[in-house]
Amino acid sequence: MNEINMQQELIRLEEEGLTRHLRPLSMCKGKYFFSKQKILNLSSNDYLNLSGNRKVKNAAIKAIKKYKCGTGASPLVSGYFDIHCELENSIASLLGQEECIIWGSGFLANLGILKAIAKRDDYIYADKLVHASLIDGCLLSNANLFRYRHNDLNHLEELIKKSPVKGKKIIVTESVFSMDGDIAPIANLIQIAEKYNALFIVDEAHALGVFGKTGGGVCQDLKTNRKPDIIVGTLSKALGSYGGFAACSGMIKKYLVNKARSYIYSTGLPPACAATAQASLNIIQEYPKLGVRTLKKARLFHTILAKAGFRMPPFNSQIIPLHIGDNTKAVKLSKILLERYGLLIPAIRPPTVPVGTSRLRLTVTLGHNNNELLYMARAIEKSARELNIL
C-alpha cells in the first residue's frame, strides 16, 4: 500500500465514522484524568481492580529490585526465570491442567499456538465472534478455516460433517466473549470435540478471575471428564498485569515450546509482570468471592440500564454491550459522555464488531462503587435520550 492508498483508506474510515484515535490518559492517586478532567472509566478490563492494588504494586517493585526490568532474551535463551516457572505452576494448578506456558501477551499466545498446531491440511472451526488474535492465528496457520454462527452448535456440527475425514480438526472458541459478554456452551462443545476427535481450544481471557468456583474461569466449573486441550488466557485483564499463557498437557507444552514461533523468537516476560500476575493470583486464592462480587455489581448496573428503557440482552457477565448500531451515533454518544459527564467509554465499531452492531462496551469492575454505577447509568440515559437513541 503506497501513501496515496493510505490517505484514501483514512478518508474512507472518516466518512464511515470508523476512524480510531489515541487518547493519552493520566493518573493521580489511582484516579484517571483526561485533559486535566477527572474521569470514570467504564471500559477497563481490570475486572477485579487488582492492577492498582497495594500488594500487587509492591510485588512488581520487589521483582524489579530482585531481578531487572527486562529479561534480556527469549525464554529458551536466558529470559526464563524462577518467577515465570512459579507463575506457570500456579496457573496450571488453578485451571486444573498439567502444565502452563507464559507468553509475552495473549495475542502472541493465540498466534503462536494456532500457527504451531494447525497445518495446511487441517480444519479449524472457530466461532464467528472470536477475538482477532485467534482469527489471525488461524489465518497464519494456512489451515482450512470455517466460522460457525455464534454459539450455534448445529451449525458447527454441520460444518464438521461437510469436511473430509482426513486432517486434524480443531474447535476454537472464547468462554466469555470479549465484545458481547455472553458465554459459550463449553460442555456441549467438549462433547462435539469428543465425537469428532477434534482438538478443543478455549480462550478464557475475560473469564479468568471472574468466573469459576475459585476464579479459574468458566472451564473450572465443568462437570465433564474431558477438559479443553488448551486453555489460553491473558495476564492483562483480571490479573491486572501484562502477558499471556496457555494451560495444557505436558506433551502439548513441550511441543509449543519447541514449535511456537511467537514464543521462541520473542523476549521473555518482564519479571515485574510475572510478579504482578502471581500477586493477583494469590489474592484471588485468598478471596475467592471477588468474581462473584464483580458479577453482582454488573448485574445491578444491567438492571438499572434495563429499567431506564434500554433494550438489553440477557445479563451474562461483567461485559455489558449497549447496542447502538450506527457508527456515528455510537461515537457521538461516547463523546458526550466523556466531555459532559467525564465518562470514558470508547465506541466499539467494525471491524472489532460486525457491521451494523456498533456499541458501547460497558465493563463493570470491582473498583466501581454503587454511587458511581448510578451516576454512570443516569449519564448514559440522559445522553442517549438527547441523541434519540432511547
Ligand X SMILES: Cc1ncc(COP(=O)(O)O)c(C=O)c1O
Single out the residue of 105, 141, 363, 383 in contact with ligand X (rule: CB under 6 A): 105
**Alpha-carbon dihedral 77, 83, 87, 89, rounded to 10 degrees:** 80
**Minimum distance between the CB of residue 229 and ligand X, rounded to whole angstroms?**
17
Clarify whether 45 is annotated catalytic: yes
Q: Which of 244/271 has CB closer to ligand X?
A: 244
**Minimum distance between the CB of residue 382 and ligand X, rounded to whole angstroms?**
30
Of residues 303-342, those binding ligand X (CB under 6 A):
none
CA dist., res. 217 & res. 317, Å (int): 12
Clarify whether 182 is annotated catalytic: no
Single out the residue of 41, 97, 141, 178 in contact with ligand X (rule: CB under 6 A): 178
Contact between 236 and ligand X by CB under 6 A: the answer reads yes
Catalytic member of 131, 227, 253, 297? 131
Contact between 106 and ligand X by CB under 6 A: the answer reads yes
Q: Which of 160/205 has CB closer to ligand X?
A: 205
CA dist., res. 48 & res. 206, Å (int): 11
Contact between 203 and ligand X by CB under 6 A: the answer reads yes
Q: Which of 82, 52, 48, 358 is nearest to 212 (CA)?
A: 48
Task: Quote the Cα angle for 358-361-362, to 5°.
Answer: 150
Contact between 151 and ligand X by CB under 6 A: the answer reads no
> How many residues bind to ligand X according to rule CB under 6 A?
13
Return the axis-axis angle of helices 370-386 and 327-341, rounded to nearest 10°.
130
Contact between 174 and ligand X by CB under 6 A: the answer reads yes
CA dist., res. 317 & res. 183, Å (int): 8
Return the axis-axis angle of helices 106-117 and 250-259, rounded to nearest 10°.
90
Catalytic member of 88, 99, 182, 203? 203
Query: Which span (105-113, 188-196, 335-343, 344-352) binds ligand X, by CB under 6 A?
Result: 105-113
CA dist., res. 353 & res. 358, Å (int): 7
Of residues 48-87, those binding ligand X (CB under 6 A):
none
CB 271 within 8 A of CB 67: yes
Length of the chain: 390
φ/ψ of 173, rounded to 5, equals: -150, 170
Residues that bind ligand X (CB under 6 A): 105-107, 110, 131, 133, 174, 178, 203, 205, 234, 236, 244
Active site residues: 45, 131, 174, 178, 203, 206, 237
